[in-house]
Each structure stands twice: as structure tokens, then as C-alpha cells.
Amino acid sequence: MAISSELPRHNVHFEPDNIKIQVDPGANLMETAVAAGVHINASCGGAGVCGTCNILVKSGRVESIRTDKISQKDYNRGIRQACQTRIFSDLNVEIPVGSRLEKAVLSREVEEVSAQKPVALVSGWSFNPPVKKVFLELPKPTMEDNVSDLSRLLRSIKQQCKLENISVNAEILTGLARILRTNNWQLTATILLEANSSCRVINIEPGDTRKGHYSLVFDIGTTAVRGQLLDLNRGKVISHCIDYNRQISYGEDVISRIAWSQKTGGLKRLQKAVTATLNDLIKGLINSADIEVQSISHMVVAANTVMTQLLIGLDPKYLRLSPYVPTISNVPLLKAKSIGINTEEHVHLYIVPSVASYVGGDIVAGILGTGIHQSDKITLYIDIGTNGEIVIGNSDVMLTTSCSAGPTFEGGGIKHGIIATSGAIEGFEINPSDFEPVITTIDSAKAKGICGSGLINIAARLLESGIITQNGKINTDFPTKRIRESEDGYEYILCKKIETQIDKDIVITEIDLDNLMRSKAAMYAGYKTLAKNIGINLTDIERVIIAGTFGNNIDIKNAITIGLLPDLPRDRFFFIGNGSLLGSRLISFSTDLLYHGETIANKMTNIELSENTEFMSDYMAALFLPHTNMDEFPSVTIKKGKKS
Amino acid sequence: MAISSELPRHNVHFEPDNIKIQVDPGANLMETAVAAGVHINASCGGAGVCGTCNILVKSGRVESIRTDKISQKDYNRGIRQACQTRIFSDLNVEIPVGSRLEKAVLSREVEEVSAQKPVALVSGWSFNPPVKKVFLELPKPTMEDNVSDLSRLLRSIKQQCKLENISVNAEILTGLARILRTNNWQLTATILLEANSSCRVINIEPGDTRKGHYSLVFDIGTTAVRGQLLDLNRGKVISHCIDYNRQISYGEDVISRIAWSQKTGGLKRLQKAVTATLNDLIKGLINSADIEVQSISHMVVAANTVMTQLLIGLDPKYLRLSPYVPTISNVPLLKAKSIGINTEEHVHLYIVPSVASYVGGDIVAGILGTGIHQSDKITLYIDIGTNGEIVIGNSDVMLTTSCSAGPTFEGGGIKHGIIATSGAIEGFEINPSDFEPVITTIDSAKAKGICGSGLINIAARLLESGIITQNGKINTDFPTKRIRESEDGYEYILCKKIETQIDKDIVITEIDLDNLMRSKAAMYAGYKTLAKNIGINLTDIERVIIAGTFGNNIDIKNAITIGLLPDLPRDRFFFIGNGSLLGSRLISFSTDLLYHGETIANKMTNIELSENTEFMSDYMAALFLPHTNMDEFPSVTIKKGKKS
């Protein structure tokens, strides 16, 4: 018997999930939750500074440092920061609403995506997946024809498929003799097409298994992971899935993840977190489609550079240190199983190539899907997440950049900001008769906070009605009781305590507005910098393609009103939903497109903004609603407030 | 605590190796010895029929079936067949001399090989190993040049080595960022050259490690495994090694190995046995050369088809079932580590391709090394082992076959036959004055038995002196007291009990002579069949190349006298030692030769003898000493005996 099992251990019980785990005395509560698979929000990744990982200790003894993130009143009733808490007895812990992830909104997103017909703009490809299943009937060996089993197999593939340069995965050898003889020399070979018109036999199965031939595509975001199961025979999406990236427990943004990866064992844990997320999603996809895991033949992933490096277990440290060098931008084909993904040995993972530290394969996939690299039309491609990724160009040239929009649009840095989950305020109007606000929330639930698209709508309406000024201050002269002064400055009450599920007034503060202004200014200055570098004005842009789930929910007019989008005619704007999945799906469907990713990545020039003086002056000029130069926003009219 | 450990277990003590092991009651003694790493000879692989695995139970209780392989006298003093014995108490077991392997003779062989200058006859190649080490000094990244670490590395390799189509092994990615920065962007890349002028980066190390760059070559025989450590910088053999193939415990010939592989878990055990042999040899090579395992860059193996399939874990069942189909004849490059060989992850194993079930990569390597495929001269290539492999041909055409010479030349099927180990009778003369025999033994040790080359010398001399007749019978009229009748027929006493170490007279019987005659007839009929198929007479043969350790020890004249070799002038015969190692070594030294193996394998046509009527009649005609048609052996003169 090992000594460790002789020590007294403590039972920890997490509510409301009703999950139990045993730990050693002194264990950190945050890490215990991670180990138990219980999610607690933690923007800062356990550094103790964000105050989002609050939990309620209902019974049991803990040791916990009280920081200014918890009021004395909350502390007295048992609220603790999970990351600052150590366990010293059996424990009952409740994860309050504010610290929990809600999956309801994610499933809502899946519904919408399935309903929406994806618009692929890329051209010049046919349905011709890079992984094929071929049914073969081999002639039986005789004394006159007793070449090896492998030679017999390859000869037959050559004849039937007109393929040359055929190699084989060593793993198929073990079962080869048996499989050929199991079903009377009839079998199905799975063949991976490679560069230079060569190919590789990656799997063999007795009999005819062509019917089950599927691909998995995933978009691995910093916050959420989205996936689809594709039927490679019919070129159809079979099922969808989405979940939070389990790495969220190690911090909400890439910077916290990088910090975590530098701890002992940290990189491994981050990798395991994302592969565990993928494995659960795969299980779900397979179950919902009622297929066997053996019929998965291929996998494509697109992600930002940090997510890509963490997925394959590469230290992301240098991605955010000048001169911002990724370890790899063009990942060789990997076996999915080799990085811990629960697929069969033969499933190869194609990772869409990236351009630079800040411009990942998700953007390359989006460009591929929309065919910007093939078109004459000057196109602005935008994907707004925690980082805003921007591309301007056409078939001749493409410039790209990533600007740190900050977490504003995902609810970060906003006093009552939350991600787009149930109860988030999304719609906002001002009643013109009494100037009272009219809010709508996701799922029509009791209000819980403000999501990114809601924030844009709120700011636009407040600006248009004169409740806030163009420099983002609250117009205290406005005739409404909704404005009040707090210790953080002036704020506007969107929703009164009694109408919320958080037992607090939901407000928007001048600090919030300031953060929003900085985020949208960064995006706008990003467009301008790229346009100048390419030698055009923003008005020369012929198409604006908005990718991403957040993008899908943006109200274009409101986004122009606050200066987040350029003031162009409405008919130049297109939504494509998740661009990363769109591109990955097309790569799964067509060998013709497989190498577009590399072409695009090679064609794109990345502009680093962090040390760009032009960007800085454009940014300063954009720190106004919508902009200091109103000539750039001719369609926007604003009631002049006082305090400007 | 697991239940199994609660059971009484028995301690088994093996002498003279002084090795102890614990087993459950009822365990098989043979398998216990294998598990303990104690070797017991077992020709039949544990079937109980060969009677070679005799051991002495000194104390303890066993249950054992007595077969006719053990005399009642031996049984009474405690001799048992290990494979027929189960353990029921603590045990002291002694492995008698006759059941033990002796390594002394193997080390003698190593000495000889190192002294001998290998003659490579193949031409048209330069020293240009297929695995290179390249020292690189990369420019440091800047904001203007911040491509990924991998792109920087590949760019530098392209420039410096003039290589295109460079791929990378996924394993190098993990350490890439760190290794580049460890020694100020100076590093050594190990590059594997592949077909179609493409190449692959398989390893990177910080700093300049070019100095340590070695290759391993192995000839895996059914009986012995021979290896060499090569310096890839200087093109030199650094050290040699040899050991019995540990699979010997599962039977002495390939048929017994195949039988063993069909038992539950048998294939895995056979594979482990050979990789364990290789791992021990590698350890020895590394220690004797005083190098680090990290500096091994490459590995080449040649073996017969059964040994090849067992090495990579493929079921050999169909190799010996008509129509004799191997699973694979051209094995793709494997990572040595993937099959259990203790090398670094990046070491790739090249297995020399084979021609057919009976003609393996060892023969192809020998042809490659001797350049028969490049020469006009009609060459007969012979490798005599348990199977005799024969090739006849030149650059135009090559025919090959493998005839079951049987284990005669390795001591099998001969009453006092043993492998060429210490105490084996090798030299044999008849004193012309008193007709008494004069024997010499390996290591001048007390006689223990007769080895293969000894058997040839004995038979030739007995034939020439008229003691045996041309049909292999003993001439009972010959004036010597050495001839006597036993229950097996007449026999000739080579060495009296008192002069041996086995406490028995060492004799040669008419049955032995019969077996010898059948073995040599099979070889000779093999030459004739190939010659006829190619349209020549044996006298047209311009060169005879004799490969193999056994070949090296053959006395050409005596071998012609008994009809084992064709009667050609002495200056047409060449010895090359181990042809398999010769070819493997050259492949390690020159990329030019890497693909010769495949060319040779494709050029060779295998003739199956088992169902060949021409072969059968040639075989019948050769069942005479030297042959029924003396015109084929003009140089052989024989005293006519009576009993013909």
C-alpha cells in the first residue's frame, strides 16, 4: 500500500453540479474544481486579481486570503475567491450564478448556425475530399502470383485509382494479412492524398465500409470550441457542437493562458484541457449522429496561434514577446491520436496554417472560405473576438493585423459585462416619451449583465439620444433619474436591482464607455492603418465581411454609430458566421483547397501595430463617438449633449 | 494487495548462472527459464519432441512426463525435459552443458571478422550517408524578419544544403523554440534523405554535435544476431558484436518459430525476444565504443523474411503455407523505437527489402554488397544456413531460390551434431599408417560434438579413404576397429568417451551420412535448377561467392569432394564473410545504394523448389557422394569401397 493513501483526505462537494472529489489537506480549491471538471470563471487564471472566481463555502474549514475583490459582508456570509482558498476539512461549496458558465446560449448558437445556409464565396473547387475510401477486390494469390500482401494491395490501388507514389502507414501492416483474408480478399482502404500527387494508405478494413466516412472540423477559440461532423460521401454537415474551451479555468484570455503555461506542468495541463474539450465534443457529435468512432476518417482544425501551439503542446512564450515569433506557422500533418484526441490511429489532423503570432489559422480559414484571395474586389474582413482580426485586400495583395480590442466585446472590463449568455442585455431602446430604457435579454431571462452586442446597442442609443456625449461622458443635464454618481464616477442605470437576477442595479459607467471607446478605436485605427498601407481610403472598400458569432449579432447601424465599423452603405456588409469553420469545412470537402491555406498564409503580410506610430495617431483620433472627424461618418447624426 | 500475491509461490534457482525467479505452482519450467532470461536449447520450441532441453532437477518437486528422449537411467538421476515439466515446490535446477549456449565461439567469430578486410565488389557509389548532420547558424529574428522558428530553420537548411521538399518530423516541434535559443541560434540538424530528392528533418540539437554521428547495422539470423557500429563521419566500422538470437528458446528453426507465433501472445514474445537481443547488443556496442546513445543517427537491418516479419510484429503464418505469401517485402521506413528498440525517437530503421517468402533481405543485401546486379560475369551466390539461399545471375537476370538444406550444417539431425561452438570437431584426418582418426576441435577443447564444417571434412576424408562408400554407407570391410554396429545401424567412432566432455563416444552414423547427403543434394540440385532455368551449365559459372560465417569455415576441396559445391577451379571461389552485414553497411554509407535494394529485389525471380519436378530429379541424382554422374566432378578421386 502506498503511503499517500494513509493520509486523511477531504471530501469536497460542489453544488449545484453535485460533483464530489477527494483531496489532500491544503489543496487549492480552484485547482480542485479544475480536477473535478467543475468550471469556475477565472479571468486572471488564478492570480487572485480579477475577482471572478467567487464561490460560497456552505460548510467546512478553509484558509483564504480576503482581497478587496470581496466585500466584508460577502466574506462574512462565506464568499471566498476559489483561487485564494485552501481546503482543510470536508467541504460543501456552491458555485454562484456569476461564477458559472451557462451552456444554454451556446446551444442556441448551434441552432442558429444549423438553420443558416453557409455562404461559400471561394470558387474553382470540386467535391473531392483529401481522404478517400476505396473498395477493393484483390485477386487471390497463386503460385504464379505470390507477391507480398502489401504489393498486391498497392498494385490494386494503383490500377483502380490511377494513383502513383503510394506509401503506407506502418500501422496498417500488423493487421494486413488477417484483414485481406477476413472477407475473401475484399476490403476498404482509406487513402490520404498528399502534396506532389503522392498519397498514403492510412487504414484498411475488411469488406465494404465506404458508407461510414466522416470528417471532424473544429474552430478552437480562446473562449469557445465549435465543431461539426461532416459526411465525406455526401458533402454535408451532419451535426454541430459547441462548448467552452476548458482552458477558461486557466484564464480568459491568451495572455493568462501563456502565463499559466510557464508554470511547472502548466503547458501539459492546458493541452489536456483543450483535448478533453475536443474529446467530449467528439463523443457528442458521434452520439448525436449515431455513428461509430471508426468511421471518422479525417480532422481539420483552425485556431489562433496561441490555441494552435497549446493544442500541439508547444510553449507559447515567444508568441507575445517581441519580435513575436511563433514556433510554427505551417504544422505538418499529425496523427490526431498523438496529441491525445480520441480518434482511431489513422485519423490525420490538418491544422490550417497561420500567418504570424497574432494572425492565426482561423483567419486564414475565413479568407479561404470567402475567396478574398481569388477576387478583384477590395474586401475588409473582420473577426471581432478578444482580439480583433482584420484583413484588407484582394487577389493581388492582402494585409492583415490583429489589434487588442480587449475583452470588451465579450463582456470583459465592463462593470456588468458578461459573455452572451442567458440574461445578458442585448436589445436597448429609449422610450421617447419618458426617456426610460426598454431592454431585451437573451432568452428573455431576468437581466444578469451586458453582452458585447448589447453594449454596442446601448452606447449607440444613449449617444443618439444625447444621454452620453461624443467623448463618452454621461450628460448629467439630461432629464432622467437613471443617471447617478458612484465612487467610480457617473453611471446610467439600465436595469433596477429588483428586475435583475444578481440582486444589484445593472449600470453602465463612464469607465465602461471609456473601455468601449478604446476597443472600437483600436479596431477602426486597424482598418485605417491597413487601408493606408495598401494605398486606399476606407470608402474604396467594396465588401465588408464580418465573421464570428459576435459579428453575427452586431447591429450594423449601431456599430457604425459608435464608430466600430466604417460608414459604408449597408449593402456592402456580409455576415458569414464562423469563418474558421467555413474554411475548415471546405478543406475537408476538397483537395483542391487543401493547399490554398498555405498560399493565403504566404500571400498575407502581417502589420504589427504595437510599435506602429501611424496606428497610434489614428487610434487617438478615433477615441470619440463615432470619431473626431465626423466627415468619416456622414450617415451618423447625434443630438449634441453638453459635457463635451 | 492483489489476490495473486497471497498464493504460495515457489523459488526457482537456475545453475550454473545463479539466477533466481518466483513462480506460481504449476508453472512450466521451460517458460520459467525464458522469463528468467536463462537460455535452454529447444530445437522444437517446446513441443517435447527434440529432446534438447534436458535439465537436471537437483532438488524440489516437479511433475514431468518421461518421453523416449530420456533414458530410464538419466530419468532416475533427475534429468527432465524442461518443456514437459511443471513446478510444484522450490526448485534447484542445473542446465547441463549440452543444453547451454556457449558464447565463446561467437566472440571468436567477431575477432575474425574484424581482422578480415571486407571486399565490396559493388561499384558506382560515393560516401554519402542517407542521414546527415548539418551545423546551422540562424540569423536572429527581428521585427522585420519574424517568421516562425520552423520557417527560419527550414530556410537556413535550404540555403546551406541546397535541398528542396524539406519536411519535418512532428517530434522536433516540442523542443524547437527552446533549442534554437539555447545556444544562440546555433544548432545541429539531423536530416534523412528520402526518395524523389525530398528530405526530412528528424532531429535538432543545440550547438555543434556533428562529431557524434553513428549508424547501427544488424544481420538478424535465425540462430545468431550480428551487428556493427559505424562512424558516419569517417565511413568506418567502430565496433562489432554478436549474440544468439534469444528466439532460440522458442525453437531452433523458422518452422518452430512460426508454430510458437501462433500461440496466444506468442508473436509478441518472439518480437520481444529479438528486440531484447538487439537492445543488449546495442548497449554493448555503445559501451565498447564509449559513445552516447544520442549520437546514433540511423539503423539498417537485413534478415530472412520470417525474422523480418517477427521483428516488426507481423504474423509469419502465411510465409510457409502455399502459395507462400509474405505480408510485406518492402518495409516502409520505421522509427526503431516504435518496435521496441532502445534508440532515440528520431532513429529510423531501414529494412533491406526481400524477394519472396524464402528469399529475404539478407540475400538482397549480399547481392547488393557484391554487385552481382551490376556485373556481366555469371555468378553463383551461396549462403548456407539452416536454409540454403542460392542466387545465379548477372546484371541481366537473377534467379534465386531457397532450399531446405535442413539443420545439418548447423549440427541438427546429426547424432552428435552441435553448432560451431567450443569443443566442436572441425578438422579431421586419417593417419595413413594405422587408419586412426586425427581430430581437431574449436578452441582445442575436449570434444563435445561435430559442427557443420567438421561434418563436411569428416565425410570427405572418410570417402576418400574408402571408409565410407559413395552411397553413404559404412564400409564394414575396412581394416579398422572404429566401425561398429549399433541399434541405429553401423557407425564410425570419431572420438572415444574418455577423450570427450560428454561422457560418450562421439560417432558418425549411417543416418547422419544420409542426412548430410540429403542436405548437400538439395543445395546442388538448387544450383542445377537455377542454372537450367537461366540456360547455362554449372561450368559456365564465372564466380562463386560464398557468404556467411559457416561458408567462411568451409574447406572448398572437401565440399567439392562430397558434392556440396560444384567442381570448378579453386580461383573462381570467393568468401565475403557476412554478406548481409556487408550490404547493410554500404547502404548506411551511401545514399546512392539505398535504393539498389529495391532494384535488386525487383530484378530477382524466385523459383519455388517445393513443387518443381526438375529439382526433384536433380535431387535424386545428387543423392550420392559426390554425385551419380562422376563427369560432373572430374577432380574428385575416390578409393572404391566394397559395399556400394
Q: Would you say A641 and A468 are in contact if contact means Cβ atoms under 8 Å apart?
A: yes
| Nearest residue in chain B measured CA to CA from A336 | B170
Q: For the segment B63-116, what is each residue's pLDDT rounded down to a tens digit?
A: 988 877 788 888 888 999 888 899 999 999 988 776 766 554 554 555 444 434
What is the predicted pLDDT for the residue at B103?
Answer: 52
DSSP E strands in A525-622: the ranges are 543-547, 573-577, 604-606
Contact A177 B315 (CB under 8 A): yes
Q: How far is A211 from chain B (nearest CA, A)?
A: 27
Q: Is A337 on the interface with B (CB under 8 A)?
A: no
- Residue B5 — very low, low, confident or very high, per pLDDT cuts 50/70/90? very low
Q: Would you say A447 and A418 are in contact if contact means Cβ atoms under 8 Å apart?
A: no
From chain B, the residues in CB contact with A170 under 8 A are: 312, 332, 334, 338
What is the predicted pLDDT for the residue at B488?
Answer: 80
Q: Tell me, rounded to whole angstroms, the distance of Cα A24 from its chain centroid.
A: 35
User: What's the pTM?
Assistant: 0.80
Going by C-alpha positions, the residue among B580, B617, B11, B637 that lies closest to residue B302 is B580
Q: For the segment B480-510, what is each residue's pLDDT rounded down to a tens digit?
A: 999 999 988 999 999 999 999 998 999 999 9
End-to-end Cα distance, chain B: 74
From chain B, the residues in CB contact with A147 under 8 A are: 325, 329
What is A404-472 written as a DSSP string? ---GGGGTTTSTTB--S-TTEEEEEEE-TTT--EEEEEGGGPPB-EE-HHHHHHHHHHHHHTTSB-TTS
Q: Would you say A552 and A577 are in contact if contact means Cβ atoms under 8 Å apart?
A: yes
Q: Which residues contact B209 (CB under 8 A, 6 or more apart)?
A: B133, B188, B295
Does residue B25 have a cis peptide bond before it, meaning omega lies within 30 degrees of 0?
no
The span from the CA of A430 to the CA of A446, in Å, is 19
Q: How far is B328 from chain A (nearest CA, A)?
A: 5
Q: How far is B331 from chain A (nearest CA, A)?
A: 8
Mutate which of B145, B321, B327 to disrupt the A interface (most A C-beta within 10 Å)? B327
Residue B248 grid cell:
532460440
Q: How far is B167 from chain A (nearest CA, A)?
A: 8
3-state secondary structure A395-422: CCCEEEEEECCCHHHHCCCCCCECCCCC
Q: Is A188 helix (H, G, I), strand (E, B) or coil?
A: strand
The span from the CA of A502 to the CA of B286, in Å, is 70
3-state secondary structure B371-425: CHHHCCCCEEEEEECCCEEEEEECCCCEEEEEECCCHHHHCCCCCCECCCCCCEE
Q: What average pLDDT does this structure show over B609-627?
A: 92
B172-182 helix and B149-161 helix, angle to the nearest 10 degrees: 80
Q: Is B393 left (phi over 0), alpha (psi -120 to 50) or beta?
A: left
DSSP E strands in B498-542: the ranges are 506-509
What is the predicted pLDDT for the residue at A98?
Answer: 67
DSSP state, residue A590: B
What is the predicted pLDDT for the residue at B120?
Answer: 47
Q: How far is A13 from chain B (nearest CA, A)?
A: 29
Q: How far is A463 from chain B (nearest CA, A)?
A: 40
Q: Does the CA dihedral A108-A110-A115-A119 come out positive or negative?
A: positive
Q: Which residues contact A415 (CB under 8 A, 6 or more apart)?
A: A488, A491, A507, A508, A509, A511, A512
From chain B, the residues in CB contact with A608 under 8 A are: 143
Q: Would you say B58 and B93 are in contact if contact means Cβ atoms under 8 Å apart?
A: yes
The span from the CA of B83 to the CA of B33, in Å, is 10
Look-up of cell digits 447591429? A555
Going by C-alpha positions, the residue among A203, A147, A198 that lies closest to residue A174 is A203
| Nearest residue in chain A measured CA to CA from B310 | A174
From chain B, the residues in CB contact with A312 under 8 A are: 170, 173
Q: How far is B10 from chain A (nearest CA, A)?
A: 23
Residue B187 phi/psi, 5° resolution?
-155, 170
- Residue A44 — very low, low, confident or very high, per pLDDT cuts 50/70/90? low
Residue B538 phi/psi, 5° resolution?
-60, -30
The span from the CA of A320 to the CA of B204, in Å, is 24
Q: How far is A138 from chain B (nearest CA, A)?
A: 14
Q: Which residues contact B3 (CB under 8 A, 6 or more apart)?
A: none
Q: Is B306 on the interface with A (CB under 8 A)?
A: no
From chain A, the residues in CB contact with B313 under 8 A are: 174
Among A168, A317, A328, the residue with its CB nearest the CB of B173 is: A328
| Nearest residue in chain A measured CA to CA from B314 | A174
Contact B170 A334 (CB under 8 A): yes
What one-letter code names the amino acid at A255?
I
Residue B61 grid cell:
518437486
Q: Is A175 on the interface with B (CB under 8 A)?
A: no
Contact B314 A357 (CB under 8 A): no
Q: How far is A598 from chain B (nearest CA, A)?
A: 13
Least confident of A122-131, B114-123, B410-419, B427-436: B114-123
Among B168, B196, B325, the residue with its CB nearest the CB of A148 is: B325
Q: Which residues contact B169 (CB under 8 A, 6 or more apart)?
A: B200, B201, B202, B203, B346
Look-up of cell digits 537436471? B56
Look-up of cell digits 528469399? B359
Among A1, A141, A328, the residue with its CB nearest the CB of B149 is: A328
Helix/strand/coil percentages in chain B, nearest 5? 35, 25, 40
Contact B323 A142 (CB under 8 A): yes
A-to-B residue pairs, Cβ atoms closer than 8 angstroms: 118
What is the predicted pLDDT for the residue at B387?
Answer: 75
* Complex ipTM: 0.80
Q: Is B83 on the interface with A (CB under 8 A)?
A: no
What is the predicted pLDDT for the residue at A7?
Answer: 65
From chain B, the residues in CB contact with A318 under 8 A are: 149, 177
More confident of the two residues A272 and B413: A272
The span from the CA of B156 to the CA of B384, in Å, is 50
Rg (CA), chain B: 27
Check pLDDT > 60 for residue B621.
Answer: yes
| Nearest residue in chain A measured CA to CA from B201 | A332
Q: Is B147 on the interface with A (CB under 8 A)?
A: yes
Q: Would you say B414 and B512 are in contact if contact means Cβ atoms under 8 Å apart?
A: yes
Q: Which residues contact B351 (CB under 8 A, 6 or more apart)?
A: B300, B301, B302, B303, B308, B311, B312, B331, B334, B361
Mutate which of B194, B328, B338 to disrupt the A interface (most A C-beta within 10 Å)? B328
Q: Which residues contact B74 (CB under 8 A, 6 or more apart)?
A: B54
DSSP state, residue A556: H
Q: What average pLDDT does this structure show over B179-206?
A: 92
> Nearest 5 degrees, angle CA B453-CA B456-CA B459?
150
DSSP state, residue B359: B
Q: For the segment B9-37, what is each residue's pLDDT rounded down to a tens digit?
A: 899 998 887 888 888 898 888 888 877 76
- Residue A101 — very low, low, confident or very high, per pLDDT cuts 50/70/90? low
Q: Is B321 on the interface with A (CB under 8 A)?
A: no
From chain B, the residues in CB contact with A174 under 8 A are: 313-314
What is the predicted pLDDT for the residue at B44?
Answer: 66
Q: Is B498 on the interface with A (CB under 8 A)?
A: no
Mutate which of B5, B173, B315 to disrupt the A interface (most A C-beta within 10 Å)? B173
Q: Are strands B604-606 and A398-403 parallel, antiparallel or unpaired?
A: unpaired
Q: Which residues contact B444 (CB under 8 A, 6 or more apart)?
A: none
From chain B, the residues in CB contact with A353 under 8 A are: none
Q: What's the mean per-residue pLDDT of chain A?
A: 88
- Residue B644 — very low, low, confident or very high, per pLDDT cuts 50/70/90? very low
Contact B177 A327 (CB under 8 A): yes
What one-letter code names the amino acid at B454?
G
More confident of the two residues B420 and A619: A619
Look-up of cell digits 579413404? B465
Going by C-alpha positions, the residue among B386, B326, B284 that lies closest to residue B601 is B326
Q: Would you say B459 and B626 are in contact if contact means Cβ atoms under 8 Å apart?
A: no
- Residue A177 — very low, low, confident or very high, per pLDDT cuts 50/70/90? very high
Q: What average pLDDT does this structure show over B464-483?
A: 94
Q: For the segment A497-529, what is each residue's pLDDT rounded down to a tens digit?
A: 999 999 899 999 999 999 999 999 999 999 999
Residue A165 grid cell:
507514389
The span from the CA of B186 to the CA of B176, in Å, is 12
Check pLDDT > 80 for residue B188.
Answer: yes
Q: Is B602 on the interface with A (CB under 8 A)?
A: no
